[in-house]
Amino acid sequence: MWTSAFILFGSAIWALLPLVVRDEMRLGASAYGQLLSALGAGALIGAAMLPKFNRMASVDGLITGASGVLATVTIGSGLVRNRILMVALMLLGGAAWMIVLSSLNVAARMVVPAWVQARSLAIYLLVFQGGTAMGSLAWGAVAGRWGISSTLVAAGVGLIAGAATTLVFPLPRGDSLDLRPAADWPEPNTSGELDMEKGPTFVTVEYRIDPLNAEEFVRTMADMRRVRRRDGAVQWGLFADATDSGRFLEEFVVESWLEHLRQHERVTVSDRQLHEHIRLLHTAPEAPHVTHYISAARSVRPSDALRPAPCDPPEGTKE
């Protein structure tokens, strides 16, 4: 969300800078080249200063401050016509752009485990590059109606508003998570060789919980739901026994037996801590009882796994 908001407004400077040089400043290609060079030089300065800034402020603080600087540059680009001042603005803008871009890259990697980082970064880059293209198209259309200067000012105000959202929706922090794989997580026991591609796999985990701790258990299992779904479960549920207030049953469905084995490989150290917390709430002396079921049908979609089979029509009737 934060990346989308930033790139939507930040793309205005890239989309409209050629028009500023040609139509507002009445200059040619050499001036545009100088301003782009200043943006690049500013980016190099920002990259060199980034380690120092990281020691001085949090990721949220860096992104908010750099977005404010880029907003000032964007607004200034719509109002300033002096060539030297524009070069100075581009230096600041390039540094601010690099700081925001680097901070978002780090944030995108810090909050996901290693096995899903490639996918996470792919989605992040898709949003970033797609947002640049869509934002440029949108700001070009707005500039055709409002004018270049007004459009840049509006984009700058949008950047300020987007930076302010970090006060309400701060970026997720990964420093409190240990996303290293919990390599010692045991594999499930089976009675023999299983077809890895067969599925879906239906897993149940039975817990014995003191009724006094039931509310805390249900709250904690909400975190477990996110872990199961993140690691590959397509369905998840938690049920309380209507005849026994201390018995709870967790159930989840995975695409195949192979995908369930991958779930075991995807457990992180933080996930293991969550499992241990739930284990402390479990009152039985033995560990929670886990049962695995694999579809007996040849090919069943996970969404159909829990549906009742249709009844055959009576003899002598037409379908």
3-state secondary structure 222-276: HHHHHHHHHCCEEEEEEEECCCCCCEEEEEEEECCHHHHHHHHHCCEHHHHHHHH
Q: Per-residue pLDDT for 79 more than 60?
A: yes
| Contact present, 179 and 271 (Cβ < 8 Å) | no
* SS3 of 275-314: HHHHHHHECCCCCCEEEEEECCCCCCCHHHCCCCCCCCCC
Q: How confident is the model at residue 183 (pLDDT cuts 50, 70, 90)?
A: low
Average pLDDT over all residues of the chain? 84
Give the per-residue pLDDT at 51: 87
Contacts 24+ apart (CB under 8 A), 18-24: 19/143, 19/148, 20/77, 20/78, 20/148, 20/152, 23/148, 24/81, 24/148, 24/149
Is residue 24 within 8 A of residue 81, CB to CB? The reply is: yes
User: What's the CA gap between 31 and 15, in Å, rounded?
Assistant: 16
**Which one has a higher pLDDT value, 309 or 236?**
236
User: Which range (53-67, 159-173, 207-221, 250-264) has the least confidence?
Assistant: 159-173
Q: How many CB atoms lie within 10 A of CB 241?
A: 11
Domains with residue ranges and CATH for the chain: 2-167 (1.20.1250.20), 201-304 (3.30.70.100)
Average pLDDT, stretch 230-237?
90
Beta-carbon neighbour count of residue 252 at 10 Å?
23
Q: Who's near 316: CB < 8 A, 6+ residues apart?
A: none
Confidence of residue 318 (pLDDT cuts 50, 70, 90): very low
Q: Would you say residue 247 has pLDDT above 80? A: yes
The CA distance from 290 to 267, in Å, is 16
Instruction: Check pLDDT > 50 for residue 317.
Output: no
Range among 38-42, 295-299, 307-311 rated most confident: 38-42
The percentage of residues in the chain with a pLDDT greater than 90, rounded to a whole number, is 48
* pLDDT of 85: 94
Residue 313: what pLDDT? 45
Give the model confidence (pLDDT) of 17-66 as tens digits. Answer: 999 999 999 999 999 999 999 999 999 999 999 888 888 887 778 888 88
| pLDDT band at residue 1 using 50, 70 and 90 as cut-offs | low
What is the number of other CB atoms lying within 10 angstroms of the CB of residue 230? 15
Decide if pLDDT at 192 tops 80: no
Identify the pLDDT of residue 180: 67
Given this model, what pLDDT does residue 111 score?
A: 72
**pLDDT computed for residue 184 by the predictor:** 63
| Residue 171 confidence class, pLDDT cut points 50, 70, 90 | low
Question: Is pLDDT above 70 for 182?
Answer: no
